Amino acid sequence: MTGVTVITHPLVQHNLTRLRDHRTRPQEFRRVLGEVAALMLYEATRAFSVRKVAVQTPLSPARGFRLSREVVLVPVLRAGLGMLEPILQLLPGARVGFIGLKREEATLRAQFYHQSLPKDLRRMEVILIDPMLATGGSAVAAMNLLANLGASRVRLVNLVAAPEGIRCVRRHHPRLPIFTAAIDRKLNGRGYIVPGLGDAGDRLFGV
Ligand code: PRP
Ligand code: URA
């Protein structure tokens, strides 16, 4: 699918499989989700623009690079929180924004309940993080909000995506790059990704 990068790295796939396993308890689920999020970040940031800089090593001048733009990480609450901390360890200078969305069980519509975002998104690289892309309603709602606030360089990082969700995001935001570890088969009648990994938020927080 255009604009979708499936990260096939063996460590990502190994960890995704542990997360899928219904026997994986919340403590391990949290740790492994963090590990896989950090691994996925390498791929998601590969095309970040850099500028040339000069540094002085202990031995001689050297040429190097720095990221051109500030980065803001935006986890979608709750489950996106499980991917935040390990990514922050790799990008300690990043800012963090939050978008709170809860999918209603009956309608599968994402209900907005919280936002806390930096003001100057226009000039930043934004990484929108959420383990699950199911119907796509939450991702589109989050992306609409970011776009309305001027964000133009956004990447969406999902651990598992359903074809239905990808199509929905593509319809509303055709140029948004999506990074995922898997495109699963389908959604079931209750809007869950099959095979998926169940309810990411519940498994993460042991609800
Ligand atoms: C889950 C998941 C996504 C959303 C995906 O969150 O973390 O945000 O569902 O579904 P969609 O693509 O059909 O919108 P949920 O709304 O269950 O909230 P939670 O993270 O608090 O569990
Ligand atoms: N949200 C989840 O946490 N899991 C799914 O399979 C679908 C939506």
Residue type, 61: P
Q: pLDDT tens string for the chain (207 positions)?
A: 889 999 999 999 999 999 999 999 999 999 999 999 999 999 999 999 999 999 999 999 999 999 999 999 999 999 999 999 999 999 999 999 999 999 999 999 999 999 999 999 999 999 999 999 999 999 999 999 999 999 999 999 999 999 999 999 999 999 999 999 999 999 999 999 999 999 999 999 998
Residues 6+ apart with CB under 8 A from 113: 100, 101, 102
What are the residue numbers of the active site? Answer: 103, 107, 199, 202
Residue 154's CB is within 10 A of a number of other CB atoms, namely 21
What's the pTM value of the predicted model, to 2 decimals? Answer: 0.96
Closest residue (by CA) to atom 1 of ligand 2? 199
- Extended beta strands in 28-135, E state: 50-56, 61-67, 71-77, 95-96, 98-103, 110-116, 125-129, 132-133
Q: Is 132 in the pocket of ligand 1 (CB under 6 A)?
A: yes
